[in-house]
Structure 1
């Protein structure tokens, strides 16, 4: 998107890629990369929306499960603006071809740190947007903006089709299934390169917990079998929907773990020249909040405007200053992502319970995926939460009534039982 925006502004742009457009189409599956409202609109504004047939996600349905597999509460509300998840293999392939047709110079081949030095000598600015292993260590970790020293979840993703929509009509839109302290599962409407309409399932498991079973998976079929077993054991409400499903292809699955990190945005090369980092190269979040592609898009939009409006050299101090300016808003994405990795606080449990009864509160909650700053301070500060609920005429007696209503549908004590690992379940 940065290249498209700078081309639109009249810049000469060269794109260096280690793969051709055809290589991207033949690649393994990539992360789901669901874009939410404002980012979908920006992509369209740049003329990069090539898939009008792709299903938009206009609602999210969340089920919060107990240890025994019962649904403690459900939250269902519309998104203020539609979200969209399109196979990144399609996006990268079509995007590379389209940008070349608009005048970008496309150079195919691996880029090393030594190559960056050469490119920095012949260009006004070099921007690194990939965290490729050949460039590991290029951008220094910023300890003042990092929270974690090790991965917080183990991840598995697979794209499926052939599911039983009649068994769970909620899956016509986005579905989130949470068993706090054990697993978070996201079922996202997805436009797959090979089959079109499908679902991308992102699974985040607590290390060593009851859902942490994907470590030995070696194929899509094997991964789906493990997923079905996890769902049967922990989230049985979803079993009928998933049972007939098949992988969209043998390569559309991923497993691993991510260490969230923020790096300094400017790297100084051995020659003394410098390059700017954007996207995953400098800000890498856990996928739990679905912010990877959204954060990169927001960053590209901000820097495209700043770069196009700047009259002068792109010095390290100027670039760092622009990143610091972006961080004033961008930090909310990090705080949102890191906040969801922590156990729910008492105030957040109250919001979830209220959202299960009030669609307007649920809608405000979902807006955080589009604009994380909209969740602050009211979702992450207990006093602000009380004020937020009070302004919506929800007091302690209302919350008590809501909790009693939830408890009436569960066995005594099930709702507040501590799951394996010791974190509290709302």
Structure 2
């Protein structure tokens, strides 16, 4: 029985821990909070998981929220230019339903289930010294602790990290009582772009108090959505949200003006510097640890790839660990294992970095065409579930021109 330690109890760490436990490994998870503390804490993300990532959860027996969380059937995109006036709008249906579950619910339940299945959890904060001690006493140690201090163990990969600062100011609030467009009554997410302000999203979700919607701002630095430095409480956050929507996305204001915060800890603020890091860190002489998910590949949440990348990372690492058998988990193996994750994550990263910039001319043409052509809208929306497809038609100008020409043919 090989001993494996996982530092971090989020999407990637816990999904991998459950898979390893089921495979007969001796697994220790290090979590900085208990399930009770997670449930009572502040919201942690604006997660949305698309069909392929949800399929990985179902295969692992971790799909506890099917039939409870809203099945998100479509994405509606609106561009407000000039502010307050829609210049284009299109809706695309997902081939597989998406889902958003408050991580206070999900991670707490997964921790409880892991312990009920016989898994070992060590509670308490981990620093570099503790990670080194784990690496000395386990066959393999993985760090899945997100963007915190432990991420600094892994050097920044400059060639894959074009940004050295956040590209958006982030704010979200979980709300009860948000309306939905009558022309599309099934649960659907909504994306609103105002070039001078940034993006605003509405995501149907399940939270600690039942069904809700997440309203999420991605503010261009210095723009009108970049106004959350004081980190207001839920009531003040909602009031500011409504004022912004009234001015920049009035149709959304009408749907949100009767809403109420879900709880006292339903707001989240921050900023993310998109970064790719080297996947292996030497924590003591000759001892190495392997980074997972957004510890080593962190994207801005503008494209909703975080939880999806994490699920894919956990699945690919699990397969690599099982295939390794009794051979050592050496540095070369760690590098190759990360490469299997990067095979997908590179496309999510490219798509996200593209969407953080003012849309180039070929992307503008594609979005305008999506408003007229349901086939383009469908392909764009389903690219969120599999960003690898975007390289064939969205992120490359020549491929975009060829695709538009193909669509126009009789």
TM-score interval for Structure 1 and Structure 2 normalised by the shorter chain: over 0.9
User: Does residue 241 of the first structure (1) align with residue 229 of the second (2)?
Assistant: no
Cα offset for 1:109?
Answer: 1.7
Alignment match, 2:88: 73
2:306 to 260, 269, 292: 292
For 2:359 and 2:180, locate their aligned partners in 1 and report how far apart those are by CA, in whole Å. 31
The residue number in structure 2 matching 1:20 is: 34
- Offset at residue 93 of structure 1 (A): 0.8
Which has the higher mean CA deviation after the structures are superposed, 321-330 or 239-248? 321-330
Mapped pair 1:302 → 2:322: no
2:9 maps to none
Match for residue 52 of structure 2 among 38, 43, 53? 38
Deviations 1:392-421 (A, max 9, x none): 2259xxxxxxxxxxxxxxxxxxxxxxxxxx
Match of residue 120 from structure 1? 135
- Which TM-score applies when normalising by structure 1? 0.89
Q: State the SS of the aligned residue for 2:42.
A: coil
Q: Confirm or deny: 8 A CA contact 1:161 1:247 kept in the other structure.
A: yes
Q: Which residue of the other structure, out of 376, 382, 390, is the alignment partner of 2:405?
A: 390
Which whole-Å CA distance do the structure 2 matches of 1:346 and 1:12 have between them? 53
**How far 1:190 sits from its partner (Å)?**
0.5
Consecutive unaligned residues in structure 2, runs of 5 or more: 1-14
Q: Distance in 2 between matches of 1:132 and 1:57?
A: 28
| Superimposed CA distance per residue, residues 58-109 of structure 1 (whole angstroms, 9 cap, x where no aligned partner) | 1111111112411111111200111000010111111011112222111212
Task: Note closer, same or farther for the CA distance 1:166–1:338 as it changes in structure 2 (3 Å cut).
Answer: closer
Residue 380 (1) aligns with residue 395 (2): yes
Matches within 5 A, 1:97-246: 97-131=112-146, 133-165=148-180, 172-194=187-209, 196-246=210-260
Partner Cα separation in structure 2 for residue 384 and residue 6 of structure 1: 41
Give the distance between the partners of 2:178 and 2:392, measured in 1 at CA: 39
**Alignment check: 8 A CA contact 1:260 1:284 kept:** yes
Aligned residue number for residue 286 of structure 2: 272
RMSD: 1.7
Distance 2:382 2:310 in 1: 18
- Return the alpha-carbon distance in structure 1 between the equivalents of residues 133 and 307 of structure 2: 29
Give 1:321 deviation, angstroms: 2.1
1:152 CA drift (Å): 0.5
- d(CA) in 2 for partners of 1:165, 1:384: 35
Aligned to 2:140, the other structure's residue is in SS state: coil
Q: Distance in 2 between matches of 1:44 and 1:34?
A: 16
Contact 1:151 1:260 (C-alpha < 8 Å) held by counterparts: yes
Deviation at 1:333, TM superposition (A): 0.9
Instruction: Please tell me whether the aligned partners of residues 174 and 189 of structure 1 are also in contact (alpha carbons under 8 angstroms).
Output: yes
* Pair 1:82-2:100 in alignment: no
Tell me the SS of whatever aligns to 2:384.
helix
Question: TM-score with structure 2 length normalisation?
Answer: 0.92
Query: How many angstroms apart in 1 are the aligned matches of 2:153 and 2:378?
Result: 40
Cα deviation for residue 383 of structure 1 reads 1.3
